[in-house]
Amino acid sequence: MSDLNTLQATLSALIDPNTGKDFMSTRSVKNLRLENGVASMDVVLGYPAQSQTGVIQQQIETALRNLPGIASTDIRVSWQIVSHSAQRGVALLPGVKNIIAVASGKGGVGKSTTAVNLALALSAEGARVGLLDADIYGPSQPTMMGVADQRPSSPDNKHIEPIISHGVQTMSIGFLIDTEQPMVWRGPMVTQALQQLLNDTLWQDLDYLIIDLPPGTGDIQLTLSQKVPLTGAVIVTTPQDIALLDARKGLKMFEKVGVPILGIVENMSVHICSNCGHAEPIFGEGGGAAMCADYGVDLLGQLPLALSIRQHADAGKPSVVAEPGGQVAQIYQSIARKVAAKVALRAQDFSAKFPKIVIQND
């Protein structure tokens, strides 16, 4: 007959497909019981998994029902997203639990498209998500989110309300300027504007804030990575050697300021002909995997060079919302779950648990 030790041993051998770790070592299993042949438990994940609850429930049920003496199971799967630690000396942002930067060393690799679909995929999994367009010189998120004609309101003339589109809270300099007006600003002005957008936006209880960083590794990116409380960064590249050279610089920049790399997304990995189905790696192949091997980080996913991705983004309905059941959307959702799971495995931030200590001279 099985007992609680047997159940724990079985669960220790089951690997969560999103974290790559077993359910016991991640302390996901709560209230484990075995009474009258009924095995019951709560499985509390640290990442949003709306599309995965049934899969995980079935995975555990199948394993437990093969044990002697288990007549039935009662498994409840849920998730709880908490704040995780950022760089030392950088305070967390009010109303935001985790901030994830999406960056690239080079422009034109699909970073903004990846950022918007990552935000929408996390939202589709059940998280409360915000999206900050940090590209002052070329803001594209208002167009991609289908809200380029909207303007944010201010309840007190000091703070601004984010624009909500597809369930995601969005803020961009593109909401505040004429789309045809070039931003002829120097670095310090851009940095100040971004900090105002970040700190003066009334973010409403976000589990994740995705920041679409401008391309490059200059003063703007370095200042932001030092002053914004980042939980981690996602690097976007293509398999092309030139893009990989710049992506490596971006990765090194985050390492120098103590921001963990959550993984690499390889964009435009292969082109599939819409007429004949022929697959061809136009920008090369294996570059993202080789970079991951060199730096000991994970390849989160590979996206094809697909016409639909561009069309959906231009139309204001990115792939995750335009074709939620499509292959491209499924890849983005898999990337989003991996990113959230990696955040969940990081050290939690307990600063809010401790009282502030004030020393006064009497």
SS3 313: helix
Residue 107 is assigned to a ligand binding site: yes
Residue 106 is assigned to a ligand binding site: yes
Picking from 349, 46, 249, the residue whose alpha carbon sits closest to that of residue 233 is 249
Sequence letter at residue 119: A
Residue 316 is assigned to a ligand binding site: no
Residue 111 is assigned to a ligand binding site: yes
The DSSP-derived string for 321-348 is HHSTTSHHHHHHHHHHHHHHHHHHTSPB
In whole angstroms, give the CA distance from residue 263 to residue 117. 16
What residues contact residue 225 under an 8 Å CB cut-off, 6+ apart? 101, 233, 253, 254, 257, 259
Residue 258 is assigned to a ligand binding site: no
SS3 132: strand
Residue 325 is assigned to a ligand binding site: no
Residue 105 is assigned to a ligand binding site: yes
- Tokens 């505040």 locate to 176
Strands 163-165 and 168-172: antiparallel
Residue 54 is assigned to a ligand binding site: no
Annotation: binding site: 105-112
Residues annotated as binding site for ATP?
105-112
